[in-house]
A and B are shown apart, each in its own frame.
Chain A
Amino acid sequence: MSTSFSTSSARNVFYGGTAFFVLLFAALVFQSESETPKRDRREMLAANPQIAAGKRIWEDNNCIGCHSLLGEGAYFAPELGNVVDRFGGGEAGKAAVKAFIQSRPPEGISGRRSMPQFNLGEKQLNEIADFLEYASKIDTAKWPPNIQG
C-alpha cells in the first residue's frame, strides 16, 4: 500500500468508520422496532398466554435441533413456521399437528428418520399447537415460497 496512507490514518478510518456504521445500524434497529408491531402478531400473544407457554415447550424440547422455524434452525426435519396451514389450517390443522406429535413411535421407524416421542400431555400439546399457529400468522414477507416450506 502507498506510503501516503499511514497506519495511524488507517486506524482512524477504522474507529471513525466503525462508529458511523454502529450508529447507522442503531438507527435501522430503532426503525425496525417501530415497524415490527405491525407484523409480529403481538396482539395474539397478549390475548392467549398459551402461546408463550408453547414457546417454552418448543425450547425445552430443543425442537430447533431438527426443525427450522421461519427458516432458521436445523434442516433435518420439515419447516414448522407454516405447519399448521400445511396440515389443514385452523383447528383442524392444530389437531393434526397434535396427533402427529402424539403418534411418534418411541423406538423410531426402522431405517428412517423419526421424531422422538416426547410424551407431552394434552395441555402441553394445546400450547405447542397454539404457538405454531401464532408462528404461522407472523408476516414473513410471503416466505416460504409454497406450502411445503
Chain B
Amino acid sequence: MQYQSQAVAKPYFIAALGLFVAQVLFGLIMGLQYVVGDFLFPHIPFNVARMVHTNALIVWLLMGFMGATYYLVPEESESELHSPKLALALFWIFLVAAALTVVGYLAVPYATLAQITGNDLLPTMGREFLEQPTITKVGIVVVALGFLYNITLTVLKGRKTAISSVLLLGLWGLALFFLFSFYNPHNLVKDKFYWWFVVHLWVEGVWELILAAILGFVLIKITGVDREVIDKWIYVIITLALVTGIIGTGHHFYWIGTPEFWQLWGGVFSALEPVPFFAMTLFAFNMVNRRRREHPNKAATLWALGTGVMAFLGAGVWGFLHTLAPVNYYTHGTQVTAAHGHMAFYGAYVMVVLTIISYAMPQMRGRAANSNASQVVEMWGFWLMTVAMVFITLFLTGAGILQVWLQRVSATPSPFMVVQEQVALFYWMREWAGVVFLAGLLAYLASFFVKGRENAVA
C-alpha cells in the first residue's frame, strides 16, 4: 500500500463480506422455501427473504465498488485521498442505513414499513430490487454524491489515467441512472420501461466500466504488463460493452406493452453482448500469459482469470440463451431468467469485487500476499463457490426448461403450481449446491485468519 488513505477501503471490504454472508444465508432460506413451502412462514415469507437476498447483494457490491475505488484511486492518481474522514463517515452512514433497512424488512410487514417511512409522500417502494424505503434511496443518493465528490477531487488533483477516468465515468453513470428509481408513474408500462434504466443500464451498462477498470488495475499490478497495453484493452472492451449494451436494453421491452420494434433492435444488439465479455476473458488470460513478474499473490490472479471466464459464461452465454424474442417469448419470467441472473451476478460482479479484495487486503495488512497456507484455503473457497454456482445455474436451467415445456409449450399446459411440484427435484439439487456454495464462502472467509509463513513484505 503506497498511500495512507487507501486504508479506508478496509472497512468497506469487511462490511461487504459480512453482507455477502447474509445474502447467501437468505438465499438458502429461499431455496428451501421453494421445496418446503411453509418454511419460516409466516415470520419470514418468501418475498421478505428475497428482498434481503437481493438488496444485500446490491449493497455489498456497491460497498465493494466503493472500497475498490478508495483503494485504487490514490494509487492511480499518485495522491492521497481528498478526504479520508469523509470516506469513513460515509461508510458508517451507508452501513447503518443498510442495516436499518434490513431490520425494517424483517421486523414489520412491508406495508407498515411503507407507511412509517412515508412512502405516501413519494411512492418509490414495492418494485423489484428497488424495494428500499424512499428515505433509504435518498440516503443512497447522498452517500453516492459525497463519495463522488471525494473521488472526483482526488482524481482531478493527481495523475489522470485511463483506469481512473473509466472508473469515474462508470461511477457517475451509476449515480445518474439510480435517479430513475424515483420515477414511478401510475402507468404500469412506463413504470416498467424506466425501471430498466436503473436495472439494465447498471448491470449491462455502467457497471461494466467499473468492472473493466477494477480488473485492469489488478492485472497491471499482478502481471506488470505495460499500462499502455492494458488501457487499450480496457477501451476496446468498454466500447463493445456500451455499443451492445445500451440498445441491448431493448431485450427487456418485448412483452411489457412497449412497441414491437424493440424485438428486433433489442434482439440484435443484445445478441452481441457476449462479445465484450469474451474480450474480457481473452484480456485476462493474455495479460497473465504475458506477465513480466511473478506476483506472490496467486489467489488474486485466480480470481481475475475466474472473473473473465465466469462473466462470459454467466452474463454472455446464459444471457444469449434467452435474449432473442422468439426464445424469450417462452422463457420470459421463468427459472431460465433466475439461472442467468445467478451466474451473471456471481461471474461478473461478485468475482471482480473478490478479485480486488484478494489483491488489496494483504497489501492493507502490510504484505504483498498472504502465506501459501492462507492462499490455498482461499483457492478452496474460489473453487467451491465457483463450481457450486455452475451447478446452481445448471439446475435452475433444467428447472426452467422443464417449466417452459410443461407450462407453455405442451399441448395441455399445466398450471404454475402443478409445474412447480413437478420440477421440485431440480430445486432440491439447487439447494444442495447452495449449501456447497456456503461451505466455499466459509472457507474463503477462513482464509483471512490462516497464518503461516508470510511472503515478501509489501
Contacts and interface: CB of A to CB of B under 8 A. Distances in A.
A147 B45 CA distance: 27
Given A40-B190, A63-B126, A138-B189, A68 B333 contact: yes
A22 B162 contact: no
B416 A149 contact: yes
A141 B242 contact: no
A76 B187 CA distance: 25
Given A61-B126, A65-B46, A17 B38 contact: no
Contact of B238 (A14, A36, A74, A113): A14
Q: Is the interface of B mostly helix, strand, loop or mixed?
A: helix
B38 A144 contact: no
B239 A17 contact: yes
Interface in B23-59: 30, 33-34, 36-38, 41-42, 45-48, 50-51
A79 interface: yes
A19 to B, nearest CB: 10
Contact of A21 (B36, B232, B238, B243): B243
A24 interface: yes
B398 to A, nearest CB: 14
A65 B51 contact: yes
Contacts of B233: 1
Interface stretch (B74-82, B96-104, B250-258, B442-450): B250-258
Contact of B123 (A59, A72, A110): A59
B116 to A, nearest CB: 12
Interface residues of B, number: 79
Interface stretch (B8-16, B302-310, B334-342, B367-375): B334-342
A25 B33 contact: no
A113 B186 contact: no
Nearest to A78: B416
Interface string B231-245: 111011011001100
15 contacts: A14-B238, A55-B186, A59-B127, A60-B114, A62-B48, A62-B110, A62-B125, A64-B126, A65-B47, A66-B45, A76-B30, A79-B333, A106-B42, A110-B38, A144-B408
Interface of A: 1, 5-7, 10-11, 13-14, 17-18, 21-22, 24-25, 28, 31-32, 35-36, 39-40, 42, 45, 51-52, 55-56, 58-66, 68-79, 106-114, 116-118, 134-135, 138-141, 143-149
Given A10-B231, A62-B125, 5 more contacts: A14-B235, A17-B242, A28-B247, A65-B47, A146-B413
